[in-house]
């Protein structure tokens, strides 16, 4: 199971949101690059990056720092946030992103998703951001009437490398991951699953790790407020 420490980017800073609310933002590091270096020095090999500005407004203020992280840390970067065209996907893969994460595009333009998966096999992941069992898009701001399980099954025909499941109501809350929902997805959908949203402590991570059914876990706030130490996490990498 891959451990993905997370960096959410907003206005060039490393931040965390509470339940996806852009009005409830906490700055944890003014230098995302330095934060990425810390993860690298602790022995992590993978990094989950989200460009919140791009997710919300469709325009990125963070390209320079993202490219700096990719070029200077050797971390395998999984990048999402506002990536909605083939041109954007191609740009990021050419600039060294290991896995491009799409969400809104996958739901609104499945034909483009299929083409992206064909052009870049093994490099496209789909973010399923869920609130009360329905998918949310446009930086979690717009709620759809699309059910999680219905859409997840459809993705099996597209060739996506993994699904990244985020429980929005748990994100940034440290209330624990939704194990019952996660197990349902793994049982019914034949795509590797990465867990995100609500990770509270090292016990959560060990439980996910022990289950041996998850592709990875993304950890954000629990790292930044030191509920989980990087040293403890490193033992599971």
Altogether, the residues listed in the chain come to a count of 237
Q: Are 70 and 52 in contact (CB under 8 A)?
A: no
Q: 59 versus 232: which is more confidently predicted? A: 232
Sign of the four-CA dihedral 135, 158, 54, 37: positive
Q: Could you read off the pLDDT of 124-165 as tens digits, one per residue?
A: 999 998 988 899 887 677 889 999 999 999 999 999 999 999
Specify the 3-state DSSP secondary structure of 91.
helix
- Confidence at residue 19, expressed as pLDDT on a 0 to 100 scale: 67
Evaluate if residue 11 carries a pLDDT over 70.
Answer: yes
Let me know if 129 is a catalytic residue: yes
CA 102 to chain centre: 10
Q: Which pLDDT does position 170 carry in this prediction?
A: 81
DSSP helix/strand/coil, 18: strand
Of 70, 141, 66, 136, which Cα lies nearest the Cα of 108?
A: 136
* Identified catalytic residue from 51, 53, 129, 171: 129
pTM: 0.92
Question: Confidence class of residue 20 from pLDDT cuts 50, 70 and 90?
Answer: low
- Whether 11 is a known active-site residue: answer no
Cβ neighbors of 139 (< 8 A, separation 6 or more) are 20, 22, 52, 55, 56, 81, 82
Catalytic residue among 8, 46, 167, 171: 8
pLDDT in tens, 81-125: 989 999 999 999 999 999 999 998 999 999 999 999 999 999 999
pLDDT reported for residue 200: 84
**pLDDT one-digit tens code per residue, 159-202:** 999 999 988 888 777 778 888 889 999 999 999 999 988 888 89
- Domains of the chain as residue ranges with CATH: 2-234 (3.20.20.70)
């Amino acid at each position: 199971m891959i451990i993905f420490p997370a960096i959410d980017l907003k206005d060039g800073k490393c931040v965390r949101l509470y339940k996806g609310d852009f009005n409830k933002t906490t700055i944890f590091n003014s230098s995302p690059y330095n934060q990425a270096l810390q993860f690298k020095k602790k022995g992590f090999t993978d990094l989950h990056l989200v460009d919140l500005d791009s997710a919300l407004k469709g325009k990125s203020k963070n390209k320079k720092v993202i490219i700096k992280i990719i070029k200077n840390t050797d971390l395998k970067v999984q990048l999402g946030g506002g990536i909605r065209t083939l041109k954007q996907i191609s740009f990021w893969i050419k600039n060294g992103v290991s896995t491009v994460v799409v969400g809104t595009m996958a739901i609104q333009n499945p034909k483009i998703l299929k083409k992206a998966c064909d052009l870049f096999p093994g490099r496209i992941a789909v973010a399923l951001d869920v609130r009360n069992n329905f998918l949310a898009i446009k930086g979690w701001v717009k709620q759809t009437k699309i059910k999680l399980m219905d859409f997840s099954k459809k993705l099996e025909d597209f060739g996506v490398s993994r699904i990244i499941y985020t429980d929005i109501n748990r994100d940034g809350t440290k209330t624990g991951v939704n194990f019952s929902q996660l197990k349902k997805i793994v049982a019914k959908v034949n795509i590797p699953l990465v867990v995100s949203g609500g990770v509270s402590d090292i016990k959560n991570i060990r439980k996910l790790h022990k289950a041996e059914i998850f592709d990875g876990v993304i950890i954000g706030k629990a790292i930044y407020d030191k509920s989980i130490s990087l040293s403890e996490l490193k033992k599971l990498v």
